[in-house]
Homo-oligomer: A and B are copies of this chain.
Amino acid sequence: MSSTAPLTYDQAGVNYDLIDPLKIAAQRAAAATGAHLGGHGFSEVAASRGESAYVVDVGPFYLASIVECLGTKTLVADEMATLTGKSFYASIAQDTIAMAINDLITVGATPLVVQAYWAAGGSDWFGDAQRAQALVAGWKAACDTCGVAWGGGETPALAGIVADGRVDLAASCTGLINPKERLSVGDDLGPGDAIVLLASSGIHANGLSLARKLAERLPNGYLTEIAPGLSYGEGLLAPTTLYSPVTEALWKAGIVPRYSANITGHGWRKLLRHPKSVTYRIHTVPPKTAVLDFIQRQAGQDDREAYSTLNMGAGFALFVKAEDAERTAQISRDCGIDAWVAGCVEAGEKQLLIEPLNIRFGADDLALR
């Protein structure tokens, strides 16, 4: 491949054809275990099986739980530490917590407890005090932002499994949907609802394989200036926005979203997440962040490709009653996160129409497992 050839997400290294059979087998086996809850007097919320967090009805409220992996963003942080002498692990900590929190809140849950999973390639990894302290400080700061308790976690040294000098970061999160009316699995989603998009801070933690491949093709790599005073590496390492302050503020304001989507892997196709056959029409597209614009141009992606894999400036989608739309956006802005009333839900076939960009994604474009 020449250094200027277009670069797709699939070329960047993740082969879903190999992973999908296992995922499907796991999902079938997992679904068969839901009945065990009956033995404890509880039951699963079956509709949550395809959602971002698993929900159990425990009587007075619903219980939601999740485990999420950061992915390969640490490889960028490690390279940038070598290039600049700075540690970016405070940001990395926020990214990791965001992966779990931003998924958990989609079902209407208030995150309560986060557990840390920091698996290093050997004991030595923990000996870098600057990096270790940044990871701890960033983890705590993210918990403070989200009002969650950091319950504990694991810090194993896994020589032979995790690569030497690397760390595999993940977070688990448990929360409650309380009161139960806050449950948001899309039952009431339908024509007439508005789509409110919340700003992302950059690439967040999806698409990093592609972003790293691009760095290899740049003469200055991660130090390439992509905006005045901003390097490519710094742009990539902007910490993922934490959206739970917005969802909590919405509840306090009396707004219960009909549905939510965390825009991660598969980019804007995630707007098609709910199984309902409805049309999502977007009339307003948020500005791309500098780093996403740079990636799109450097990878030679057209808009359709870019919006199908990256968040392109919108990190979270709230589907709300039309009359709540402007207030929803304002509440997000009051939380310091820009937001746009970007479109609406209509009767029609399952599709996403991004009108300003002339893009259509159909039901076949998102085969979430």
Contacts and interface: CB of A to CB of B under 8 A. Distances in A.
Interface string A150-164: 111111111111110
Given A124-B18, A160-B72, A162-B162, A54 B154 contact: no
A37 B155 CA distance: 24
A123 B159 contact: no
A150 B119 contact: no
Contacts of A60: 59-60
A158 B112 contact: no
A25 B161 contact: no
A interface, how many residues as a size bin? 35 or more
Nearest to A42: B112
A328 interface: no
A145 to B, nearest CB: 10
A328 to B, nearest CB: 22
Q: Is the interface of A mostly helix, strand, loop or mixed?
A: mixed
A1 interface: no
Interface stretch (A9-17, A187-195, A217-225): A9-17
23 contacts: A13-B159, A15-B124, A22-B132, A27-B152, A30-B151, A33-B150, A36-B147, A37-B149, A44-B149, A49-B152, A54-B151, A54-B152, A65-B113, A65-B115, A65-B174, A66-B115, A67-B67, A67-B172, A74-B161, A161-B162, A162-B162, A162-B163, A170-B170
